[in-house]
Amino acid sequence: MDRGFMEHYFDVTFNDAIGEIAGNDERYAELQSVADEAVHTLAGSVGESNTALWEQCEHTINSLYTLQLQLVKLAYLRGAEDREKMLR
């Protein structure tokens, strides 16, 4: 497998990788709703936006989303590798 090509393909093809992969999955929608509510509650607890604490919370949340996207990408690449092995 040409890993560089597959990585590039993933980056170009999946503009909203999480949304495209999760699609209409009910469990994912439920978990996303719980996460959204947790973020909303956190925002209310730390004083909403424009505070140093909220900016740190936002940075943490964005870091977790970036981590989640990287895991999705790695799972995609693992699937591509597995497919190639199975076709041999």
The tens digit of pLDDT for each residue in 34-44 reads 999 999 898 88
Q: CA neighbours within 13 Å on the CB side: how many for 40? A: 6
Entry pTM: 0.74
Q: Which residues contact 29 (CB under 8 A, 6 or more apart)?
A: 22
Phi, psi (5° rounding) for residue 51? -120, 155
- 3, 66 Cβ separation under 8 angstroms: no
pLDDT at 64: 93
- 10, 81 Cβ separation under 8 angstroms: no
The shares of helix, strand and coil residues in the chain, as percent rounded to the nearest 5, are 85, 0, 15
Nearest in space to 34 (alpha carbons), one of 46, 42, 23: 42
In order along its 88 residues, the chain shows pLDDT tens digits of: 889 999 999 989 888 888 888 889 999 999 999 999 999 898 888 876 778 888 899 999 999 999 999 999 999 999 999 988 888 8
